[in-house]
Amino acid sequence: MSTRRHESALPPDEPRPETKDFSLLRSDLKIAHVNRARRTLVTAATCAGLALGMVATTGLAIAAPTSLPDASASSFAAPGTAVSVSTAPTLDAITSDAATAMSGAQAALSSATTVQADVASTGLPLSIGDASIDTGALQDAVERLGSTDLLPVLLVPALSQNAEVETDRVAARVAEVKGSLDEAKAAKAAADAAAEAQRQAEAAAAAEAQRQQEAAEALARVNTPDGARAYAAQLASDTYGWGSDQFSCLSSLWNKESGWDYQAYNPSGATGIPQSLPGSKMATFGDDWRTNAATQIAWGLDYISRGYGTPCSAWGHSQAMNWY
């Protein structure tokens, strides 16, 4: 049988039917498929954006979807594990955490500046040696955290966490430097206190030495007859109001008794310038009554005042009775 295709014969004057361009129809179908694919991708992207916005603003957490190749009946038998809505960060929480991180970072930077200025002003050597505090990374973290208005909100928690890590690092270094500085200050204060105590002790010792020297010089003066007379005249005037007339009688009286010699001693036991009998009576005016003419004079003037009222009365009694 012949396989040649036979065409039906048409009359010459009858028009042939139109033949459609099937190649054009196939092109239109391809374009339609592409447009549908694009619309599907745009829709998926829009949905993903909305979902992320809901996570950031409302704290809604969506369980991780099961990939299509791994999907099976068992995959949908139970809902996936989802983060609780109550534990997911809200926009307010993210903003608050960022503000807290920023505040802590700025405080750490301020503390670092303060302690380094303190180290520089004291000029004290520290036990840790190097007192520098590297704040570069923390400053960068503060700058990035301060630009959150220009960044997606989902990046803010990571920036906050980075700022907190750098804050802890700088704060620890500040504490270390400050601790060493406080130790150096305490050591200097102790050294200064010891030096001041030494200075005061030396000053007190010098003052005491000066006092003792002056006392020795005064004692040396008063233990001479002329020095004893000068001291007695001054004390008689200052203490008893006796003038030169009374001192004239006193001078005559004690010149007769001892010659104004503080070491004078009578076999009867009378001792010193006023010839106290016994000499130990003068101990009421000082334990140094044996060696100090001033102590003897003070006791003698008191004895005359109590016994005779004035040196002239005592002198008159001595002239009449040869003792007083």
Residue with tokens 């005016």: 285
Q: How many residues does the chain have?
A: 324
- Domain locations in the chain? 91-193, 225-321
Q: Are the C-beta atoms of residues 207 and 158 closer than 8 Å to each other?
A: no
Dihedral pair phi/psi, residue 17, rounded to 5°? -70, 150
User: Could you give the angle at the alpha carbon of 217 between the alpha carbons of 213 and 219, nearest 5°?
Assistant: 115
Cα diameter, the chain: 203
> From first to last of its 324 residues, what are the pLDDT tens digits of the chain?
344 444 444 444 444 444 444 444 444 444 444 344 444 433 333 333 433 443 333 333 333 333 323 333 333 333 344 444 456 679 899 999 999 999 999 999 999 999 999 999 999 999 999 999 999 999 999 999 988 777 788 899 999 999 999 999 999 999 999 999 999 999 999 999 999 999 999 999 999 999 999 999 999 999 999 999 999 999 999 999 999 999 999 999 999 999 999 999 999 999 999 999 999 999 999 999 999 999 999 999 999 999 999 999 999 999 999 999
C-alpha dihedral (240, 243, 249, 251), degrees to nearest 10: 90
Q: Is 265 helix (H, G, I), strand (E, B) or coil?
A: strand
Q: Is the dihedral of CA 211, 216, 222, 227 positive or negative?
A: negative
Q: What is the pTM of this model?
A: 0.52
Q: What is the pLDDT of residues 160-188, one digit of tens each?
A: 999 999 999 999 999 999 999 999 999 99
Task: Name the residue among 243, 227, 239, 206 with its Cα closest to residue 294.
Answer: 227
